[in-house]
Structures are given as structure tokens and as C-alpha cells.
Amino acid sequence: MKTTDRSNQPSSTVEQFIRQSLRVARNRARFGRGALTIGLALSVGAGAALADEAPGANEVQLLEEIVVTAQFRQQNLETTPVAITAITAQQIEEHNALSLHDLNGLAPNVVLTKGTNTNGPSAQAFIRGIGQSDGHPGLEPGVGLYVDDVYHGLLLGSDLDLTDLDRVEVLRGPQGTLAGKNSIGGSIKLFTRKPYEENDAYIDATYGDFNLVKIRAAGNFTLVPDTVYARISGISTHQDGYMKRLDYFCATGQNVVSTQIPVHGCELGTEGGTDIHSIRVALRWIVNDNIENNFTATDTQDRSEVPALKLTQSNLPGPTKAAPVTYIPAPLDPSGAEFLTPAHSYTTYATYMNLGFTDPAKYATAPGAGAHAAISLPTTDPINYYGLTNNLQWKIADNYTLTSITGYLRYTGAYSIETGDSPYPTGLLDDTWADNQFSEEIRLNGTTLGRFDWTAGAYYYKEYAQFGGLKLLNPGLANETLFTGNDPIKSTNKSVFVHDVWRATDALSVITGVRYTKENKDYTFNRLDPYNQAFPSYNPVGVLNNTQGTPYAGSHVDYRLGVEYQWTESIMTYAEWSTGFKGGGTNPRPFIKQEAVPFGTEKVSAAELGFKSDLLDNHLRLNVSAFFDRYTDILLINTAPLIIGGQSFQNSTPVNVGAANIKGAEAEFVIRPVAAFQVDGSVSYLNFNFTSFNTSAATIQGVNFETQDPYVPRHMANLGAQYTWTLPNGSSLTPRLDAQYQSSFFTELTNNPIGEVGGRTLADLRLTWKSPKGDWQTTAAVTNLSDHFYYINKSLSQNPSFTQGQPGAPREWLVTVRRNF
């Protein structure tokens, strides 16, 4: 832990008040009375009768100095003029975070949502109201995701494992110059632990609710003293799903065609389960005093179940008793409520099976058309991921360093979609995907005349993706869409950039940055007959077979201009203006020729003011930012059915709907009044307002100036508190309580109320015991302490009308035992 002298801090009325409060806290702790008041400016006392048993509790405890690399070089978090949250390995552990979406809410105005299978298995990332929910490889993320500075270019498979990380850096606001490709909302950067000189290791085992079994381990080894080090880490986790799939006939007594045989009672299986196995090998080679190379290889196999989904509203066609047909004109219950399970139950009637159907008579003479047998899909979403990264740093002179960052990533995966969550689904899709990415980034860092810290660099990215599989949409109905295929998608990105910090005085710095980017993307559509793949589909979608979408080619220049002023050693303010963009393309999901249309580039310009401080003799860390964004050519997905000649067609078309102003404010704090007691948290506000609409948005019903951007909660907050007792035998006991609030948000463009995800407040409790030497650790935790039923995501369909909701997990307990070697 690094320490800094903070004795020369300015005094103010507020600061004097907080100092006085801390003195009161210390006095109360000394006399064993204790008190706990959690707040941003005041946190008083801790420990009650056991306070005297914590030696050092009244000593000054300096907050940890966190080093980040947001501006291409190592800097103290508190002197980096960027709205950035650094989540340390310890914080990841304290929040029981296993995957990327588990970090939701830990940074202000950052939403990380586990995607429904409608959009593919992913972590849907939104920062300050800007992101992307659809995981199709033909669409670009709105938040850049990086692992060891290597860009991951698609949402599918982005819910990354967090095992053995050093830290996570979350940069808020457009990072067009610092991060580049598709970091229009911000960027999330994961940094794995590097091998180091000491030979050590750890292993931990976790058991919990729903038969959770998790094993994690890592070891550090010296291969050649002072030269070559290795680190191996891995995880194996399995947990049963919390959502039960019920057989409709067994559960309701309705004498309908039975679809599957229950495995236990009326249960067909579960959703929401986890099955992940991953290993990472890192090699660190210190060639000499000036050259160091870090190589990492990662292999992950994910066989997790489909995400939990349940029907929340439905006008689906209903069953006829004992009738062996898939659809009838009207449901038994006009509202479609026969397929709704109890509101707060973790149950669904989904079968992932179609009982068979006959094509409409108009297709009778088409090859492959006619009567089709039943088909079922797996209820797992397999993903295979393999990644190689290499980071070479060469100090070519005292003030100049050359860095090469190389990455090769390969994904293959599949996911099953049942639209309707009933024994009579309106759609069954077996989506398959693959992705290969290669990237190379070269940076030259230098310092000139003692006052110019600059970075010049170039970036190259090449991606080849494929997306396809079997699609059965409204099978047997007049508007059925049936096809299979595998669409190739090729894209390249090239950029050059310069970033400079001029330290005009010891206190004042001026920041400038510029990046020029050129990109290209090509699409080819394959729409084959799923029952005779020698022919195009006999549905209207068949005319797209072997056609090319409008190629996308674009260039863009992004800028950053800012000033930073270090008022004292512990107080800094900054102001900046920055830009970012997200590339255009062609609708990757056209169902008819009229939907194969291009879309344009999103752009944002942002102004931001920030304040960073370590106050009260380094007991209080407070960072505040306020921003105003001008967001143009906003890209959202239009799912309203397309009506042509009186006939309704499936639709999922990206549309540049218009422009909006986004404004908000954020605050983060950590306060440690005494060594054993810490309170931390954040709060944020965000306001999104459309200011204009493009012509293409005029055809979307329900969109107006009151429309809210999807996945944008207006208010977010989190608060955590922990206290460490030192027991008589030298071991320690640390309880920690966390609470998190998130206001409601919509998940689609028209802001349909039935698709609104309600606000929620969740709490987690954790108790950790550490042995006197720190070699043993035992943790017991309870998540969703109040067992609150809530939704984390929703998906709407308009023809027929139904809504599927993704419930968050119920209350769960877990126990972890860890051994450090």
C-alpha cells in the first residue's frame, strides 16, 4: 500500500464539521460506547463493546492508492482527469462477483444486465444511457470491452469470468480518443493478475443454494529466477437453475397434447443454471532491464442453461383440449392467461419444442413444404472461447517506451430461443455463431522537455463472424418465416491516435487528443429452406438468399480537450470535452427484401466537469462529476411488424431515430473513520430527452419527445459498510452489508408499460473470518437478503402480443473456504 502525506489540506466549514465528527467517533470508540451512522459526509464510530479488541482501530488508516492506466500510462486514480471507477480484486470478492454482469451498480450510471436469449447470451452494458442490447455480430457494442487492453468486439459471450483479476477499470463517457472502437458510451477494462517473483498459490471451494459447487485456484511460479515467471488460474462452477420448467398438462390438468415427460413431479427441467470451466496461463519474461513481455492464453467452456424467462403478459393462441394441433384461431382465455404461471413464482411452461405443423396451402408445391415433424431444442447455451494476448514493452530510452499489444480471440456458440414460453410457442430458433478477431496496437509513450507526456499510436482490427442456425417463426401460420443458413460478416478497423498532457505549471495541465478511424464491413445473407437446403426458403425471406447487404465504409475523427488543476496534493478538478462514435452497417436480420436497409453512425459529443479528492487526512475519498452529452443519430431496434400490402412481416430493423440531450451527475465515496471501519458507495442521476427525430423514425408508433432511451434508469445508488473485529487469538471477523437501488427503465423503443422493468432495492450480507496468519479464510454470504422478486430484463413481441420477463435470482446462501499457500 502506498501512502502520501496529506497534512497540507485546506480547511473549510464543512471539512471542520466532518473532522469534529471523526474526533467524536474516535472518543466513542475509546470508551467502548460505539455508534454507526452511514452517510456521505458523516460516519461516526464503530465497534461498540468490541472496539477495544481491535488494536490499531484508532490509528490513522490511509486509503489505498489505486493505479490505473486510462491515459496510456500508470497514474494515481485520484489524479486521472477521467470519470473512472476502479474495482479492485478485493471488491470483486466482497461482492461475490463471478461474471461481468455481477458488477452492475458498483459504478454510477453503469448498467450491466444479463441478456435474455432473445438478444443472445451476453452482458448488456450501458454507461450514461448509451450502449447496445442486441448481441448480433452485425451490430456494434456501445461500450468497449477490453481484457488486458485487447478489445472484445461483440456482445455475444461478453459476460466474462472475473476469476483472478487485478482490477476492473470502468471509464464513463465517450472514449473515442483513449479507447477508440465503439467506446461511445464508455469502456470497461479487465486486467488479469500478472505473474510475480513470489511462489504462492490459493484454492477455494464454495457450496451454496441450488447445488452451487465452485472451485477456484491459482498459483504463481518462478521458472527462471529474476527472468521468467508463470501464473496458472482456473475456475470450475456448476449451479442448478432457479427457474422451473413445468409440464402444462401435469401442472394444470388441461387434457392437451403432452409434449415431454416430466423428470420430477411436474418439472421438465430448469433455466438459469451455470456450468463454466475456464483456465488461464500467464507467462512473464523480463528480458532485461528495458524489455518485458507478458503472454496470456485463456480457454473457457461454458455450458450454462438458457437464462430464466417467464411469460408476464400474453395474447397467444391457446390450446384446444385433446386436439393434436399447434394453433387455433382464439385462446380459451381471451387474455391468453392460461399460460401465465403465478406472478411471483419461478416457474414457466416453456418446452423448447414445437409439436409439428403444416405449411399454409400457398406453399404446397414448394420443395420441402408440407407437414413437418416435431422438433426440440437444447436448453443450454454452449460457448467455447479461446484467447491469446501478448503485451511487449520496450524502454528504448529514459523517457520513451514502445508497447505492442497483440490479441487473437476465437468464439463459437449457440443459443436456443422459444418465443412465448408455452407449450405452443410462436417461434423456435436455434441460433449459431462464430467469431474470429485479430488486433494489433502499437503505442509510443514519451516525455519531452520534462512537461509534455505524450502517446502516439496505431491500431488494427480484423474480424470474421458467422451468424445463422434454424429459424421457425410463426410456423404454420399465414405469416410464417422459416429458414436456415449461416451469414458471413467481415469487418476491419484501422486508426491512428495522439494523446498529450502538457503540464503548463505544477498545478495546471492541458490535455489534448485526436484519433482518426477508418472502418469497413460486409454482409452476405443466406436464407435456405430448412427442409431442403439445396433451395432458398420458400417463404418471402428466400429472395434474400445469397445476396449482399449494403457494404459499410466510414471514417471518423474523434477529439478530446481538457484542463486539469491540482489545487492541493489531495484536491483536483478537471473539465473536458470529448467525442465518440459507433459504426454503421446494414440490418443483419432482414426477414424480407424491404428490411435489408443500411443504418448510419451514432455520434456523441460530451462536456464534463469533475472533482476528485482525498480529504480528512486521507480518511475520506470523494469523487464527483457532472456531464452533458449531445447524442445524435441514435440507433435503436424497431420490432414493430412491417405491414406491406395488408400482410404483416417479422421485423427487427436498426433505425437511426434522432438526437437527444443526456445530462447527469455522479458521486463516489469511501470513508474510513477508524482503521477497522469502512463505508463506501455511489449515487447517480441521469436525464435523457429526445430533441429531434429523423425521417426514418416517423413510421414507429409510440415514439415521441417523452420517449426514454432503453436501459436507462434515472437513479442509481449503492451503499456498503463493513467492520473488522480482531479476536483474542489474532484472527479477524468482518461482517459486510451492501444495498443497491436502481430505478425503473424500459427495454424497447416505444416505452410500452408492459415492458417496463420495475425499480428495485437489493441487499447482500457477507461474513468473513480470517486466521491469524491469513492462510485460511471462511466466508458465509446471503444474496438478495429480503428474497425480493424482481425482473432484470424483459422482451416484448407485438404480433402476437406477449411479454417475457427475466427474473433475478431469489435469496441464496453460500459458504466459501479458502486456503492461501
What pLDDT is stored for residue 339 in this prediction?
Answer: 83
Cα separation, 271 vs 249, in Å, equals 19
Of 155-159, 322-326, 421-425, 464-468, give the range with the top mean pLDDT. Answer: 464-468
Q: Does the pLDDT value for residue 183 go beyond 50? A: yes
CB atoms within 10 A of CB 223: 12
Of the candidates 560, 544, 673, 583, which has an alpha carbon nearest to the alpha carbon of residue 19?
673
Q: Does residue 72 come out as left (phi exceeding 0), alpha (psi in the -120 to 50 range) or beta?
A: left
% of the chain exceeding 70 in pLDDT: 89
What pLDDT is stored for residue 30 in this prediction?
Answer: 38
The tens digit of pLDDT for each residue in 275-287 reads: 999 999 999 999 9
CB atoms within 10 A of CB 661: 13
Rounded alpha-carbon distances, angstroms, from residue 138 to 130, 305, 407:
18, 24, 21
Q: Does the pLDDT value for residue 246 go beyond 80? A: yes
String of DSSP letters for 287-313? -SSSEEEEEEEEEEEE-PBPPP-EEEE
**More confident of the two residues 646 and 563:** 563
Residue 641 grid cell:
411488424
Residue 341 burial by Cβ neighbours in a 10 Å radius (0-12, 13-18, 19+):
buried
The tens digit of pLDDT for each residue in 56-87 reads: 444 444 688 899 999 999 999 999 999 999 99
Segment 437-445 mean pLDDT? 97
Rounded alpha-carbon distances, angstroms, from residue 559 to 72, 73, 501, 512:
16, 19, 14, 8
Of 229-233, 355-359, 637-641, 710-714, give the range with the top mean pLDDT. Answer: 229-233
What pLDDT is stored for residue 680 in this prediction?
Answer: 96
* Confidence band, pLDDT 50/70/90 cuts, at residue 675: confident
All residues at 6 or more sequence positions from 365 whose CB lies less than 8 Å from its CB, including other chains: none
* Confidence band, pLDDT 50/70/90 cuts, at residue 642: confident
Residue 172 grid cell:
464513463
Segment 666-680 mean pLDDT? 94
Segment 288-304 mean pLDDT? 96
**More confident of the two residues 150 and 322:** 150
Cα separation, 177 vs 459, in Å, equals 12
* Confidence band, pLDDT 50/70/90 cuts, at residue 425: confident
What pLDDT is stored for residue 257 in this prediction?
Answer: 60
Of the listed ranges 547-556, 589-598, 647-656, 794-803, the least confidently predicted one is 794-803
Of the listed ranges 79-93, 326-340, 633-647, 797-811, the least confidently predicted one is 326-340
The tens digit of pLDDT for each residue in 342-365 reads: 989 999 999 999 888 999 999 999
Looking at residue 757, the DSSP 8-state letter turns out to be B
Residue 578 grid cell:
470529448
Q: Which domains does the chain have, with CATH numbers?
A: 12-59 (no CATH), 63-665+681-715+728-820 (2.40.170.20)
Segment 548-572 mean pLDDT? 95
Q: Does the pLDDT value for residue 23 go beyond 50? A: no
Biggest alpha carbon–alpha carbon distance for the chain? 91
Calculate the dihedral angle through the C-alpha atoms of 612, 515, 86, 617, rounding to the nearest 10 degrees: -20
The tens digit of pLDDT for each residue in 446-481 reads: 999 989 999 999 999 999 999 999 999 989 988 899
Of the candidates 170, 144, 158, 159, which has an alpha carbon nearest to the alpha carbon of residue 88?
170
Residue 115 grid cell:
441478456
Cα separation, 567 vs 558, in Å, equals 29
Residue 210 grid cell:
441450488
Looking at residue 156, the DSSP 8-state letter turns out to be B
Helix (H, G, I), strand (E, B) or coil at 357: strand
The tens digit of pLDDT for each residue in 683-707 reads: 999 999 999 998 877 667 777 888 8
Cα separation, 338 vs 35, in Å, equals 54
Helix (H, G, I), strand (E, B) or coil at 262: coil
Residue 638 grid cell:
424497431
Residue 199 grid cell:
511462489
Segment 88-114 mean pLDDT? 91
The tens digit of pLDDT for each residue in 318-336 reads: 554 333 333 333 344 444 5
Cα separation, 106 vs 114, in Å, equals 15
Residue 615 grid cell:
480529504
Q: Which residues pair with 82 in a beta bridge?
A: none
Rounded alpha-carbon distances, angstroms, from residue 247 to 255, 506, 639, 655:
12, 71, 30, 39
CB atoms within 10 A of CB 571: 17
Cα separation, 418 vs 305, in Å, equals 13
CA angle 695, 698, 703 (to 5 degrees): 130
Task: Report yes or no: 474 and 482 within 8 Å, Cβ to Cβ.
Answer: no
What pLDDT is stored for residue 255 in this prediction?
Answer: 61
What pLDDT is stored for residue 267 in this prediction?
Answer: 92
**More confident of the two residues 755 and 275:** 275
What pLDDT is stored for residue 799 in this prediction?
Answer: 64
Rounded alpha-carbon distances, angstroms, from residue 7 to 63, 569, 600, 612, 615:
14, 9, 54, 17, 10
Q: Reading across the β-sheet that carries 130-131, which strands appear in turn?
A: 110-114, 123-127, 130-131
CB atoms within 10 A of CB 691: 12
What pLDDT is stored for residue 63 in this prediction?
Answer: 82
